[in-house]
């Protein structure tokens, strides 16, 4: 007889709050570091430094006896995620931090669409409405025709699509391989996938830039770890709404640290997108077949 771990909602909310703080620090560090390093190189250094945290997982990877098909899927996911990380680094230093945070919420919307197209999931009317709400939220943020849509915005839109592809592949692998191995293999293959992009436009990093990227690697790893603890303590229907605070913190950080004006349309669009993601998460939890990643899980 299997014993279900009791839900601890307050513990789950606490760890999700810590997760949000970790990922906000990631974005703040990348934006503070600035655009001198090419995004491919900056992303490569972040992931290469993060490999040290995977050393305890190597024995599990070797013992998993992965099939050739699984190796190819891990490679495909690594390529997708590497592209998303490059685009995210590019957007992060070119558009306001609140806009990056709000548009990052789009990835779970795209996962829902991809699950219907490629994994055979049924898109019920409620989920279609939620997807349309998410896309409407993106339109509110971008307001094409009423403001300039920069290359940073386009990069973030594309990043959300590519991240969605990564998580769709992860869904397939999660049904066959232990979660810890899925996470470890992502870091390994993303690092490998970033090598040619870093080498093509290499600029020798300064000690300060290396320190920033090392801190990014630490906070990103800590964020994924605390997010796992949050999911273990409480259902995603409890922890998902907490991710809205990331938009609040990002907006405040943009005002205080980066001297960015508050854009009420960005906040409103982010609320609409997150509301749709929360609804999709709740529906999938009710149907016990969730594939949508938590909004914060789509970051590098």
Which pLDDT band, with edges at 50, 70 and 90, does 294 fall under? low
Mean pLDDT, range 29-44, rounded to an integer: 94
Instruction: For residue 2, tell me if it sits in a domain.
Output: no
Is 50 exceeded by the pLDDT of residue 195?
Answer: yes
Residues 247 and 267: beta-carbon distance below 8 Å: yes
| pLDDT higher than threshold 80 for residue 298 | no
Domain annotation covers residue 34: yes
Residue 113 has a pLDDT of 86
- Residue-averaged pLDDT of the chain: 85
Please report the pLDDT score of residue 213 as a whole number: 96
For range 50-54, the mean pLDDT: 87
pLDDT at 63 exceeding the cut of 60:
yes
Percent of the chain residues past pLDDT 70, beyond the cut: 90
At 202-252, the pLDDT tens digits run 999 999 999 999 999 999 888 888 887 887 777 766 776 777 788 888 888
pLDDT at residue number 2: 44
Within a domain: 109? yes
Output the pLDDT for position 10: 85
The dihedral of CA 274, 249, 42, 50: what is its sign?
A: negative
Asked if the structure places residue 289 within a domain, the reply is yes
Domain with 171 in it: 9-298
φ, ψ of residue 145 to 5 degrees: the values are 95, -20
Q: Is 1 domain-assigned?
A: no
- The total number of structural domains in the chain stands at 1
Q: Which of 75, 27, 48, 299 is nearest to 186 (CA)?
A: 75
Q: Mean pLDDT throughout 33-53? A: 93
Residue 19 falls inside a structural domain: yes
Number of Cβ within a 10 Å radius of residue 126: 12
pLDDT at 191 exceeding the cut of 90: yes
Residue 293's pLDDT band (cuts 50, 70, 90) = low
- Helix orientation angle between 106-118 and 264-287, rounded to the nearest 10 degrees: 40
202 lies in a domain? yes
Would you list the DSSP string of 175-216?
TTS-HHHHHHHHHHHHHHHHHHHHHHT--PPPHHHHHHHHHH
Tell me which residue of 231, 84, 226 sits closest to 167, measured CA to CA: 84
Spatial distance between the Cα atoms of 290 and 223, rounded to a whole number of angstroms: 21
For residue 3, tell me if it sits in a domain.
Answer: no
Contact 171, 291 (CB under 8 A): yes
pLDDT: which is higher, 242 or 267: 267
């Amino acid at each position: 007889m299997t014993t279900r771990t009791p839900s601890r909602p307050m513990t789950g909310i606490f760890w999700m709050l810590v997760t949000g703080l970790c990922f906000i620090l990631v974005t703040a560090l990348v934006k503070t570091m600035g655009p001198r390093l090419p995004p491919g190189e900056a992303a490569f250094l972040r992931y290469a430094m993060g490999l040290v945290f995977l050393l305890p997982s190597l024995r599990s990877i070797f013992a998993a006896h992965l099939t050739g098909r699984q190796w190819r899927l891990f490679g495909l996911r690594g390529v997708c995620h590497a592209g998303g990380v490059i685009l995210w680094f590019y957007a992060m230093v070119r558009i306001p931090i609140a806009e990056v945070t709000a548009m990052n919420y789009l990835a779970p919307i795209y996962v829902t669409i991809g699950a219907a197209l490629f994994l055979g999931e049924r898109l019920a009317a409620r989920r279609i409405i939620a997807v349309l709400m998410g896309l409407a939220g993106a339109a509110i943020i971008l307001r094409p025709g009423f403001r300039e849509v920069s290359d940073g915005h386009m990069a973030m839109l594309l990043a959300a699509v590519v991240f969605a592809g990564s998580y769709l592949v992860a869904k397939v692998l999660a049904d066959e391989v232990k979660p810890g191995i899925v996470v470890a293999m992502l870091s390994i293959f993303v690092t490998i996938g970033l090598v040619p992009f870093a080498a093509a436009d290499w600029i020798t990093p300064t000690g300060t830039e290396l320190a920033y990227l090392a801190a990014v690697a630490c906070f990103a790893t800590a964020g994924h770890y605390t997010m796992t603890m949050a999911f273990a303590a409480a259902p995603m229907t409890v922890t998902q709404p907490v991710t809205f605070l990331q938009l609040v913190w990002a907006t405040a950080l943009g005002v205080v640290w980066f001297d960015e004006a508050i854009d009420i349309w960005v906040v409103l669009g982010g609320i609409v997108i997150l509301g749709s993601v929360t609804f999709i998460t709740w529906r999938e939890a009710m149907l016990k077949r969730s594939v949508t990643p938590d909004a914060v899980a789509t970051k590098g």
